[in-house]
Amino acid sequence: MSERPRTIYILVLLWLALSGIFVLWGIYSLIVLIQIPEWTTELQALIYPVHFGYLISTIVWFVFSSLFIIFSYATFRADSWAWTTGVIISTIFLIIFGIMLAAFMVNAILFLDWWSVVGLITVVLSFLTDIGIVIYLTRPVTKLYFAKINSEKLTAEITKEVV
C-alpha cells in the first residue's frame, strides 16, 4: 500500500472534529433531557413533546457522531464507499447546516441569549468543518488516492483467487 497523502490525515481530523461537535450537542441534549422532569409549568401537557424531542435529539446527535467516527476510519483505510458516501453526506449536511445557520442567526439577533450565541458558534464551526471535508474530499489527490488504493485492493484479491 502506498503512503497516504496529507489530505487524508486532514480529512480524518475533520471527520473527528465534526464527531466531537456532535458529541457536545448530544451531551447538551442529554443534560436538558435529564432536567426536563424538574421543570415546573402550568402547561404540563407541553412537557411530554419537549421530552420526546430532546430524547430523539440526543439519540440523533450520538448516532451521527458515531457515523462520523466510522467515516474517519474508512477514510483512513481508503474504503471505496467512504469517498462517495462522504461526498453525499457532507453535501446534505452543508444544506442542513446552512438552514441551521440561518435559524441561529435570526435567533441570536432577536434574543441574544446564551443558548442562541453558543448554538450559532457551534453551527458556524460545524459548517466550516463540513466545507473543509467537501473541499478535501474533492481534491484531485484525494480522489486519486481512493482510486489507486481500491485498484490495488482489487488486484490483490484477484491475485489471491488465481493462486
State the residue range of the domain holding 34.
6-155
Residue 19 placed within a domain: yes
Residue 132 placed within a domain: yes
Residue 59 placed within a domain: yes
pLDDT tens figures, 119-131: 888 999 999 999 9
Residue 76 placed within a domain: yes
Smallest CA-to-CA distance from 58 within 33, 38, 35 is with 33
| Whole-angstrom distance, CA of residue 117 vs CA of residue 125 | 12
| Whole-angstrom distance, CA of residue 67 vs CA of residue 92 | 14
pLDDT class of 46 with cuts at 50, 70, 90: low
Residue 163 placed within a domain: no
Low-confidence winner among 30-34, 50-54, 104-108 (lowest mean pLDDT): 50-54
pLDDT class of 52 with cuts at 50, 70, 90: confident
| Whole-angstrom distance, CA of residue 74 vs CA of residue 83 | 9
pLDDT tens figures, 55-66: 888 899 999 999
Looking at beta carbons, which pairs linking 147-154 to residues 24 or more positions away fall under 8 Å?
148/2, 149/1, 149/2, 149/78, 150/78, 150/80, 152/1, 152/2
Residue 12 placed within a domain: yes
Q: How many domains does one find in the chain?
A: 1
